[in-house]
C-alpha cells in the first residue's frame, strides 16, 4: 500500500496501466477485518487492539493520493458506497482521510457523489453528533473537535454540489446543523475559509 501510494504521488505514469488490477486489492485493505482485532487482558481491564487500523488508514490515504494523480483511472462510483461509507463509520484515524476523500470527490466527481448522497449522510451525522464521555481527557475532547470540523468540511463540500438539495436526508442534516448554534458557527467558519 505504501509503495503504491509513493508511486501514485511521485511517478503516477508508472502505475496507471496496473491500476485495474491493483485497485480491488487496495479497496480490500480499507475494510475492517475481524481477524485483526484482538482483546488484550490487562488485569481488571480489557483493551481492544485493532492491528489492521494502520493499514486501513494507509489504504485510504493512498486512495486520496490516487484521486489527485490518477483520477481518470479510478472509478469513484465503485469506491464510494461500500468502501468510503465503511471508512466514514470507522476509527477516528480512518475517518479523517475519508472526510478529505469525500470533499475531493464532491469537487471532482459531483454526479457520482450525488447518486449515493443518502447513504453517506448517516455516518456524517453520527460524527457531528458524537459527544465524548464526561470523564474524557482534554486530548480526547480536542480530537473529537477536530473530527467534527473535518466532517463539517466534508458537509460544506457536499453542500456546494448543485442538486445536493434533492436529498431529503441531506436537507435534514443541514437543518440540524443550522438549529445548533455551536455546529452552525463551526460550519459557517469552515465554509468561509
pLDDT value of residue 164: 60
Is the pLDDT score of 35 beyond 80?
yes
pLDDT tens column, 166-179: 789 999 999 999 99
Q: Look at the chain and count its residues.
A: 193
pLDDT value of residue 136: 80
pLDDT band at 162 (very low <50, low <70, confident <90, very high): low
Using CA atoms, how far apart are residues 59 and 105, in angstroms rounded to an integer?
16
Is the pLDDT score of 149 beyond 70?
yes
Is the pLDDT score of 29 beyond 90?
yes
pLDDT tens column, 52-100: 999 999 999 999 999 999 988 888 888 877 899 999 999 999 999 999 9
| Closest to 119 (Cα-Cα) out of 168, 162, 163, 152 | 168
| Closest to 69 (Cα-Cα) out of 146, 129, 131, 4 | 4
pLDDT band at 131 (very low <50, low <70, confident <90, very high): confident
| Closest to 95 (Cα-Cα) out of 107, 104, 86 | 86
Is the pLDDT score of 2 beyond 80?
yes
Q: Are strands 37-42 and 45-50 parallel, antiparallel or unpaired?
A: antiparallel
Among 61-65, 122-126, 129-133, the range scoring the smallest mean pLDDT is 129-133
Q: Strands, E, within the chain: which ranges? A: 37-42, 45-50
Between 34 and 81, the higher pLDDT residue:
34
Please give the mean pLDDT across all residues of the chain: 91
Between 163 and 130, the higher pLDDT residue:
130
Cβ count near 163 (within 10 Å): 10
Instruction: Check the CA dihedral 55-61-142-171 and report its sign.
Output: negative
At residue 54's C-alpha, the angle toward residues 62 and 93, to 5°, is: 85
pLDDT value of residue 98: 96
Amino acid at each position: 500500500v505504501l509503495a503504491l501510494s509513493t508511486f501514485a504521488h511521485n511517478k503516477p505514469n508508472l502505475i496507471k496501466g496496473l491500476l485495474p488490477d491493483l485497485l480491488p486489492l487496495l479497496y480490500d485493505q480499507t475494510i475492517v477485518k475481524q481477524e485483526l482485532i484482538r482483546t488484550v487482558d490487562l488485569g481488571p481491564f480489557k483493551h481492544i487492539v485493532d492491528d489492521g487500523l494502520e493499514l486501513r488508514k494507509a489504504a485510504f490515504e493512498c486512495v486520496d493520493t490516487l484521486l489527485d494523480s490518477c483520477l481518470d483511472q479510478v472509478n469513484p462510483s465503485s469506491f464510494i458506497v461500500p468502501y468510503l461509507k465503511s471508512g466514514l463509520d470507522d476509527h477516528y484515524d480512518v475517518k479523517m482521510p475519508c472526510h478529505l476523500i469525500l470533499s475531493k470527490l464532491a469537487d471532482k466527481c459531483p454526479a457520482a457523489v450525488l447518486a449515493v448522497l443518502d447513504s453517506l449522510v448517516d455516518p456524517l451525522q453520527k460524527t457531528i453528533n458524537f459527544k465524548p464521555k464526561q470523564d474524557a481527557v482534554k486530548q480526547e475532547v480536542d480530537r473529537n473537535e477536530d473530527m467534527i470540523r473535518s466532517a463539517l468540511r466534508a458537509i460544506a463540500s457536499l453542500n456546494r454540489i448543485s442538486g445536493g438539495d434533492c436529498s431529503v436526508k441531506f436537507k435534514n442534516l443541514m437543518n440540524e446543523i443550522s438549529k445548533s448554534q455551536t455546529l452552525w458557527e463551526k460550519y459557517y467558519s469552515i465554509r468561509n475559509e
